[in-house]
């Protein structure tokens, strides 16, 4: 798979949710991870058991204006809003940084303005931030990966397999 992705969260306040999101990002092969305007306890208490920060660059930005993404990296907001594109209908950019909203709120207006795209997971209500991140990363892997088509009948073919 060509390109790379990163994942982060704005306004994180729960260390366990952030740690679980970062652990999932590490498992899916994120190039880097980030927080924006994270509560101090999130920054200090990196709660993921895979020790992501030892293997993947982790950026803590105080504000949206402080964010410095690589050139040609498109910021994709993940938010359950009417104007966002449903994830199954979205084509992922080759180089993308996905930003999740806070556990108890929405992406800030400044963050929304910075996003090149807004996507939503078509659910009836918000899911846990780590679950939402894992769904987005899986969709990226599935849609941009080099997997064989799914068989018509139940079961599968070992075909192309994910290599982080």
Q: What pLDDT does residue 17 have?
A: 84
Q: Does any domain span residue 135?
A: yes
Reported as a pLDDT band with limits 50, 70 and 90, residue 135 is very high
Q: Does any domain span residue 33?
A: yes
Tell me what the mean pLDDT of segment 136-159 comes to.
82
Q: Does any domain span residue 103?
A: yes
Q: Does any domain span residue 153?
A: no
pLDDT tens by residue, 69-84: 999 999 999 998 889 9
Give percent above pLDDT 70 in the chain. Answer: 88
Q: Does any domain span residue 151?
A: no
Reported as a pLDDT band with limits 50, 70 and 90, residue 159 is low
Q: Cα–Cα distance between 119 and 78 in angstroms, integer?
A: 5
Reported as a pLDDT band with limits 50, 70 and 90, residue 150 is confident
pTM: 0.89
Q: What pLDDT does residue 63 have?
A: 96
Tell me what the mean pLDDT of segment 139-164 comes to.
76
Domain enclosing residue 138, as ranges:
4-144
Q: What is the CATH classification number for the domain harbouring 138? A: 3.40.1280.10
Contacts of 124 (CB under 8 A, 6+ apart): none
Q: Does any domain span residue 159?
A: no
The residue to which tokens 């079961």 are assigned: 155
pLDDT tens by residue, 9-64: 999 888 788 888 988 999 999 999 999 998 877 655 556 666 777 788 999 999 99
Q: Does any domain span residue 14?
A: yes
DSSP, residue by residue, 74-138: EEEEE---TTSEEGGGPPPPSEEEEEEPPTTS---HHHHHH-SEEEE---SS---HHHHHHHHHH
> Looking at the 3D structure of the chain, how many domains does it have?
1
Mean of the per-residue pLDDT values of the chain: 88
Q: Does any domain span residue 41?
A: yes
């Amino acid at each position: 798979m060509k390109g790379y992705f990163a994942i982060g969260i704005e306004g994180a306040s729960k260390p366990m949710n952030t740690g679980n999101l970062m652990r999932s990002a590490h498992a899916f092969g994120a190039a880097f991870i980030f927080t924006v305007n994270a509560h101090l306890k999130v920054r200090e208490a990196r709660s993921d058991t895979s020790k992501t920060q030892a293997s993947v660059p982790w950026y803590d930005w105080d504000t949206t204006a402080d964010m410095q993404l690589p050139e040609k990296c498109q910021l994709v907001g993940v938010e359950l809003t009417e104007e966002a594109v449903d994830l199954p209908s979205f084509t992922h950019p080759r180089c993308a940084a996905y930003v999740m909203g806070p556990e108890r709120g929405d992406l800030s207006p400044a963050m929304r303005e910075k996003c090149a795209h807004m996507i939503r997971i078509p659910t009836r209500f918000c899911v846990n931030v780590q679950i939402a991140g894992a769904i987005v990363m899986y969709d990226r892997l599935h849609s941009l990966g080099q997997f064989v088509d799914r068989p018509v009948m139940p079961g599968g073919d070992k075909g192309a397999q994910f290599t982080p």
